[in-house]
Structure 1
């Protein structure tokens, strides 16, 4: 079940989560045993350190520039670009500048 987003209304996803100085802000849209969809806003220099996920994770950049590291390889993302982080592979996310993304994890 979707939550935290208007029903039957067109929205700009990047406007559904706000930047906060020195923080990573998240807003969960879906969380269950099959899928997780979360919006994130990273302040410049903020990061989610290296970890692994039990599901394939798609990062869609909504605003700014971010850096996604997968298996030690860095990939830069800009608005409109996406990257797949495969399940059980170490990955990290870093705000090269202020950066908003939508994370979809399929288990």
Structure 2
């Protein structure tokens, strides 16, 4: 079930989460045993350090460009692009510039 977001309305997903100086802002849309969906806004130079997810993680960049390191390989992902980070593979996310993304993890 979706939460923290309007239903039955056309939305621009990038507008559903705001930047904050020196922060990573997140907004959870779905969280259950099968699926997690979260919007993120990264300020420049903010990062989520290396970790692994318990499911396949799909990132779609909504604005700007993020740097993703997956299994030691670096990817620059820009607005409109998607990257899938496989389950149990270590990955990290870095704000190359300010950027927004939608993270969907399927368990």
Normalising to structure 2: TM-score of the pair? 0.99
Structure 1 residue runs of 4+, over 3 Å off?
none
Structure 1 unmatched runs, 5+: none
Count of residues paired in the alignment: 107
Once residues 77 and 95 of structure 2 are traced to their aligned partners in structure 1, the CA distance between those partners, rounded to angstroms, is 10
Structure 1 residue 93 corresponds to structure 2 residue 93: yes
Structure 2 unmatched runs, 5+: none
Match of 2:54 in 1: 54
Structure 1 residue 103 corresponds to structure 2 residue 103: yes
Structure 1 residue 34 corresponds to structure 2 residue 53: no
* Cα-to-partner distance string for 1:54-90 (whole Å, 9 max, x where unaligned): 1000000000110010001110011000000000000
Normalising to structure 1: TM-score of the pair? 0.99
* Cα-to-partner distance string for 1:29-52 (whole Å, 9 max, x where unaligned): 000000000000000000000000
Structure 1 residue 9 displacement after superposition: 0.1
